[in-house]
């Protein structure tokens, strides 16, 4: 029944309180930077259990973005609504660390006046289709020569990926337009711009 409460442990209750506290602490940040307040954000997110999980995810992502902006001493501006709403809605569903880092980078870029003109709505769609292994592959490509040479493949193998996982990840990056296959998986301009946005 939808009206029944789901029993939760003390540990879960504490985690929920921490997430809500984080959202409250960032109320001013959200209002100033994103042009909204936590209640508005939570209202976008759906049912009770999912609402709590999504609020926790958003709290982590917002905290990361805020730290990045503070480190760079950026005076933020609210992102445009066509960017903000789909970004927060999609980011709220992400609890994997590598992808939360991507969403934090996108949120930071959208709030940074010097980077917002280069921000593309397509970046949000790309982030929604990435898996953690894709992020590892992208990072290895940028740490290397910009293409998937034997050294980059070896780096990925050291990170625990097997050759099939590397191939699947590179194929996903190809389908997203981030890399091209000209005999070796090469980072394309869209991939470079996406990485500039998230870093």
Between 1 and 146, name the one with better pLDDT. 146
At residue 69's C-alpha, the angle toward residues 65 and 71, to 5°, is: 115
Average pLDDT of the chain is 77
Range(s) of the domain holding residue 91: 10-119
With contact defined as beta carbons under 8 Å apart, do 102 and 198 qualify? yes
- Could you tell me if residue 50 is inside a domain? yes
Q: How many CB atoms lie within 10 A of CB 59?
A: 22
With the CA atoms of 80, 82, 86 and 88 taken in that order, what torsion angle do they form, in degrees rounded to the nearest 10? 20
Residue 131: its pLDDT value, please?
95
Q: How far apart are the first and last CA of the chain?
A: 44
Run of H or E residues at 186: strand 185-187
Residue 21 burial (C-beta neighbours within 10 Å; 0-12, 13-18, 19+): exposed
Residue 109 lies in a domain: yes
Q: Three-class SS of residue 187?
A: strand
- Do 88 and 149 lie in one domain? The reply is no
Number of domains in the chain: 2
What is the total residue count of the chain?
199
Same domain, yes or no: 18 and 42: yes
Give per-residue pLDDT as tens, 136-149. Answer: 888 877 766 555 66
pLDDT at 6: 46
Q: Is 83 helix (H, G, I), strand (E, B) or coil?
A: helix
Q: What is the pLDDT of residues 160-194, one digit of tens each?
A: 778 888 888 888 999 999 988 755 678 888 988 99
């Amino acid at each position: 029944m939808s009206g029944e409460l789901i029993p939760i442990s003390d540990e879960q209750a504490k985690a929920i309180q921490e997430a809500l506290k984080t959202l409250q602490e960032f109320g001013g940040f959200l209002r100033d930077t994103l042009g909204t307040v936590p209640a508005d954000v939570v209202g976008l997110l759906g049912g009770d259990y999912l609402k709590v999980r999504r609020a926790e995810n958003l709290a982590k992502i917002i905290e990361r973005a805020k730290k990045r902006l503070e480190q760079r001493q950026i005076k933020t501006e609210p992102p445009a609504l066509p960017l903000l709403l789909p970004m927060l809605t999609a980011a709220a569903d992400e609890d994997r660390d590598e992808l939360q880092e991507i969403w934090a980078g996108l949120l930071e870029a959208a709030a940074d006046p010097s980077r917002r003109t280069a921000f593309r709505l397509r970046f949000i769609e790309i982030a929604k289709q990435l898996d953690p292994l894709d992020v590892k592959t992208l990072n290895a490509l940028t740490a290397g020569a910009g293409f998937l040479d034997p050294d980059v493949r070896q780096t990925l193998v050291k990170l625990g990926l097997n050759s099939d996982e590397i191939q699947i990840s590179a194929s996903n990056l190809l389908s997203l337009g981030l890399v091209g296959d000209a005999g070796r998986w090469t980072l394309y301009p869209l991939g470079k711009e996406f990485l500039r946005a998230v870093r």
